[in-house]
Structure 1
Amino acid sequence: MRIPAMEQSSRLWHLLLFLVVTIALAAQAVLVLTDGTDANSGTHVTGDTVARLVRLFSYFTIDSNILVAVCCAALVLNAARDSRVWRVLRLDALLSIAVTGLVFALLLAPHIHLTGTALYLTVALHYIAPPAALVGWLLFGPRAQTDGRTLVTALRRTACWACPRRPPGSCGWRCSTARVRPARRCSTRTRS
């Protein structure tokens, strides 16, 4: 059975994007685990392993790129995939990675000065993945499957991620060099 040219193109596009994103995410995890520079913040990463990983996976950039990688892998396996959950996941990945690219380029990039491996990783995660995901969606869809209900459901994860954010340590998880533990109470004031 012969696969149509458009489906082959879609699979190749998404395979390449999957490889770029997955390799960059794996390399970023290695940098974080080996006290390297974080491509998301430009800071030298210290602390225990669990705290470093919690910090790494708390970045919207990482979450967005993981969603893109999952969607790309699914599209490589079945370019004609369709279901209600799939539409939401695909649109959520697209919206999240678009936010990632725009926020990084417009707000964060002027303040982060990376070199070496961290620079290559930030290019992959912030400058290649966002437009490549958008172009892939524009070229291969599923644009016609996007309706208002799908959009609202997809936006919910992004809104839930962004709204409750507080400065590290003020609410939710406390990351210290000793261990990561749930915070006992939410407070923006420091105690002496």
Structure 2
Amino acid sequence: MYSAILSRNPGDALKCALYAKMRRADWGGALRYSRRLRDAEPGEVEWRLIEAQLHELSGDLAKAERRFREVLAREPLLVRALHGLTLCMHKRFEGPTVFEMLEHSLQLAISEKRVPEERNIKPLIAQMHVVMGQLDVASEKLRNVINEDPRDFRPHLCQRIVYALLDKKEADEQFDIYRKPCAG
């Protein structure tokens, strides 16, 4: 079956093999295929992101961090790369540096008037405060994001999670706010 796919489209066969290895948590095997895809499609950022994530999953945080930084050198406001990098930095105990890097990215988004990226980076900052156990700070940051754009359901959902972690009764109220726009 794979040879039939390979003869028709070699890229599809590599993708099938990559995802099969990932489903089996064979990070080393998946890395081999992600590298081949990266080499076959050098302009495709997806393979670079997957390669970085696979390095993180396999425990090679230094290499993962390098790969995420390579992606960010080309696309400095790519939120998936920022998210991956922040998690690697956190795992490497680079706490304050995480927030400096995210704040720099946020200021870049603001100065370049890249509103979607700005709206994505702000909840990421709050999420990293959650990861670091700073729930009150995360809650405050999320309140600010909600006030800026109350129609965006993501910060409402995140706030509900933070309230639940803080064991606040507002968690259910926040979930109701999140559900209202979805009710038909």
Question: What is the TM-score when the length of structure 2 is the normalising length?
Answer: 0.25
> More helix by proportion, 1 or 2?
2
Q: Which of 1 and 2 has greater Rg?
A: 2
Q: Which of the pair has the greater relative contact order for Cα pairs under 8 Å at 6+ separation?
A: 1
